[in-house]
């Protein structure tokens, strides 16, 4: 290197990488005042057929309906009937009761694994209510509320979690990786973000066939860093696929906070701008705002105006799973201080404020739901629990891949069954 170039290089500032760091760690005092939270009802509601660019300001704003006075405000108020709101409240409370019982079952050794969605119930329950039943849901692993909202039997959910003899998936999926064709709920995959290109493909196929079914997919904010996310949005944008991409930003991906997926730079909804599609950033703990945004996106997709990316801004109140201890990486005060509150409490307080509910009715409903969940789990336990017998017959491990079992698999099946009978004649 010439002397002049060497001297110039020596005078340049040294390069440095930025490593994202959450604002609060265990033991820290939590203060969320740095969040820019606009008032309820302040956000404009463009027509569903608007140009995608009209939604650009809503990608960094925050659509809210329920105010601090527990009343609905602004143009995004979906004006749902009280009976409909009570149904959503009941289903969110049922999801929470189900989560509590399944968490306890895992701790009792009845299953190996479970994921709760405490604090995020609105992002699945209220959003599902905004879709048509025929629309295909492509979930991630924290959308048990979609199944509850579509009336899927809890007994079948528990059977799957226990991988017992009544499990319709025959023990081939990990606990909570449900699949329910009867309610148009696509198989959950443990591989992150694979459901997004699948959702785009389904909606493209629906359009090619001239059908009216759209696709709605859910993904955590951390999974937006996966290549499948970008592949799905590219195809959806290019072909105007009738797809809704729901990004549940619950602030944490296991022990990595959302900054590692890009949250320090801008919102996740802002990624819609780069793809030229509609985008909305929504208070994910406001069931009315969640419903309104999902309905807006569904109507837009169904009228051939293209895909929408929705960011539900919420908070994961519990650990990532039963294998996770959040106290080692985040402050215990975070959920209590979360300024957007709890979705169940907010909808309950709204119904009380408009004279359509009471604390006594809430207490009675919670008791009734706890008994309903307990009854379903006791019934499921008659079919067996994980690792304690009552499983599907051994021969079923060779079935359901081919319409007719090939000769080599028939031979393998006979050999395996014969060996099993020799080793365990009982």
Any idea which residues carry the catalytic annotation? 316, 320, 329
Q: How many CA atoms lie within 13 A of 394 on its CB side?
A: 11
Strand partners, 106: none
- Specify whether the CB–CB gap between 321 and 253 falls below 8 A: no
DSSP 340-405: T--HHHHHHHHHHHTTS--HHHHHHHHHHHHHHHHHHHHHHHTT--TTSS----GGGGG-SSSSS-
Residues 6+ apart with CB under 8 A from 224: 193, 247, 261, 262, 268, 271
**Alpha-carbon span 424 to 422, nearest angstrom:** 6
Buried-state track 334-358, b at ≥16 Cβ within 10 A, e below 16: bbeebebbbbbebbbbbbeeeeebe
For residue 21, what are the CA distances in angstroms to 29, 262, 267?
Answer: 16, 12, 17
- Specify whether the CB–CB gap between 52 and 272 falls below 8 A: yes
Residues 6+ apart with CB under 8 A from 328: 26, 255
Three-class SS state of 77? coil
CB atoms within 10 A of CB 24: 17
Task: Give the total residue count for the chain.
Answer: 426
- Specify whether the CB–CB gap between 333 and 27 falls below 8 A: no
């Amino acid at each position: 290197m010439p002397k002049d170039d060497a001297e110039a290089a020596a005078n340049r500032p040294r390069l440095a990488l930025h490593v994202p760091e959450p604002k609060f760690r265990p033991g820290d005092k939590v203060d969320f005042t740095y969040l820019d939270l606009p008032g309820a009802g302040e956000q404009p509601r463009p027509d569903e057929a608007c140009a995608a660019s009209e939604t650009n300001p809503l990608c960094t704003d925050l659509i809210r309906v329920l105010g601090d006075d527990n009343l609905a405000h602004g143009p995004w108020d979906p004006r749902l009937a009280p009976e409909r709101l009570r149904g959503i409240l009941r289903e969110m409370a049922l999801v929470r009761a189900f989560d509590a019982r399944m968490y306890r079952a895992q701790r009792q050794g009845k299953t190996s694994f479970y994921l709760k969605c405490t604090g995020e119930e609105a992002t699945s329950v209220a959003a599902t209510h905004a879709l048509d039943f025929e629309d295909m849901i492509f979930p991630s692993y924290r959308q048990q509320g979609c199944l509850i909202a579509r009336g899927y039997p809890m007994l079948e959910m528990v059977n799957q979690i226990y991988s017992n003899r009544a499990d319709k998936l025959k023990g081939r999926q990990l606990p909570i990786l449900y699949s329910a064709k009867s309610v148009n709920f696509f198989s959950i995959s443990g591989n992150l973000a694979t459901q997004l290109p699948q959702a785009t493909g389904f909606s493209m196929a629906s359009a090619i066939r001239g059908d009216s079914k759209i696709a709605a997919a859910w993904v955590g904010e951390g999974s937006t860093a996966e290549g499948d996310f970008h592949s799905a949005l590219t195809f959806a944008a290019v072909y105007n696929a009738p797809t809704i991409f729901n990004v549940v930003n619950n602030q944490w991906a296991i022990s990595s906070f959302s900054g590692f997926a890009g949250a320090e730079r801008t919102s996740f909804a802002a990624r819609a701008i780069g793809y030229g599609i509609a985008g909305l950033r929504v208070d994910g703990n406001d069931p009315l705002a969640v419903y309104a945004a999902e309905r807006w996106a569904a109507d837009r997709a169904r009228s051939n105006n293209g895909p929408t990316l929705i960011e539900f801004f919420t908070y994961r109140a519990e650990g990532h799973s039963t294998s996770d201890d959040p106290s080692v990486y985040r402050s215990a005060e975070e959920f209590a201080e979360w300024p957007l509150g709890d979705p169940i409490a907010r909808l309950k307080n709204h119904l009380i404020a408009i004279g359509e509910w009471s604390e006594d009715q809430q207490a009675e409903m919670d008791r009734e739901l706890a008994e309903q969940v307990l009854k379903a789990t006791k019934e499921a336990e008659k079919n067996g629990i994980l690792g304690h017998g009552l499983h599907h017959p051994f021969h079923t491990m060779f079935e359901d891949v081919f319409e007719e079992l090939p000769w080599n698999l028939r031979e393998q099946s006979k050999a395996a069954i014969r060996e099993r009978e020799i080793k365990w004649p009982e």
